[in-house]
Structure formats: structure tokens, C-alpha cells
Amino acid sequence: MKYLEDLIVGTKAQFGRYEVTREEVLDFARKYDPQAFHLDDEAAAKTHFGRLSASGWHTCAMTMAMIVEDQKGDRRAGLGSPGIDELRWLKPVFPGDILRVETEVTDVRPSRSRPELGSVHSLVTVFNQKDQAVMTMKSIVLVATRPTTNPQMEA
């Protein structure tokens, strides 16, 4: 189990491989972001995208899927997230793109009011198959601190 104390500023990771399909782009758009350039080839062709593109929110969801998949074998003491900062969609994501993720831990902070947890800040960058950054965000995750035992309490 990785606890707050095990996470080090400057640690970098690269992971994930997510193939963006047309069907998934359309399905997500129908449910959550029904704008014409996410749903209709003709309408999308008339925009600055030039063709059907994935919703930025869909890109976030695909990123989360890659993060969770990467952490399956690496049990972390994660406790959820209070949010993200500075989400940026840098380039459109299209059906047929293959996405991957790079992360860098930028800050590790124990909580001042809750000694059982702290926060980990990371820069998350998503790239397409051309190694072009398509999205960045600053992630904040709550992580448990290592449990301590008091030998006097065990007696």
C-alpha cells in the first residue's frame, strides 16, 4: 500500500493506451454534451475542428479510465479528490486517436487539521499518438497517511 509518506515530489509516470472510437464519441455526446460538432459529421466539418471531435469532458473521462487502470496493481491509500485546477483542452481529440497519460507529482502536503490524511498535487498531461499534448490539468488527490501503532496502547 502506498501512503502519503511514500509519494515524492518530482516523481513522474507514463502509462495508458486508450483508443478513441467514433461510437464512443457519439454515445458520450448524445448523453452528456450534445453539441453538433460532437454528433454530426457535416456540422463538425463547418467548424474549426474540421471533423467530428470528442467532447473535452469525454477526454477527461477517458483520462480517468487510464488512471484507474494504471493503479489497479498499485494499491494506493487514495481517499478521493476534492477537485482539479487549471483544466485545459489544448487540441481536439478525434475518433481514431490513441491517448496516453504522463503525470508528475508537484506537491505532497499533510493535512494540518486531519493527521490521518494529506493531499497530493500532480500535473497530468494527456497526449495523442503524435505526442501532441491534448489536455492538461492539475490534479488534487486525498491520500491516507501511514497508520501508526502505539506499543503502549497494544498492551
pLDDT value of residue 23: 97
| 74 pLDDT more than 70 | no
Q: Contact at 8 Å (CB) between 58 and 15?
A: no
Examine residue 14 and state whether it is found in any structural domain, yes or no: yes
Domain that holds residue 46: 4-146
Q: What's the number of domains the chain is made of?
A: 1
The answer to whether residue 155 sits within a structural domain is no
Tell me, yes or no, whether 62 lies in a domain: yes
Contact assessment for residue 88 and residue 134, using Cβ atoms and an 8 Å cutoff: no
Q: Looking at the domain assignment, is residue 154 inside a domain?
A: no
Q: What is the mean pLDDT of residues 52-57?
A: 98
| Cα–Cα distance measured from residue 116 to residue 97, given in angstroms and rounded to the nearest whole number | 41
pTM score, two decimals? Answer: 0.89
In a 10 Å sphere around its CB, with 0-12 CB exposed, 13-18 middle and 19+ buried, how is residue 151 labelled?
exposed
Average pLDDT, integer, range 109-133: 96
Residue 66 backbone class (left: φ over 0; alpha: ψ -120 to 50; beta: rest) = alpha
Q: What CATH number does the domain containing 128 carry?
A: 3.10.129.10
| pLDDT of 151 above 50 | no
**34-51 pLDDT tens trace:** 999 999 999 999 999 999
What nine digits make up the cell of 99?
491517448
Tens-place pLDDT, residues 86-119? 999 999 999 999 999 999 999 999 999 999 999 9
Examine the pLDDT at 155 and tell me if it is beyond 70: no
Give the model's confidence band at 73: pLDDT under 50 very low, under 70 low, under 90 confident, else very high. low
Q: Is 1 or 16 the better-scoring residue by pLDDT?
A: 16
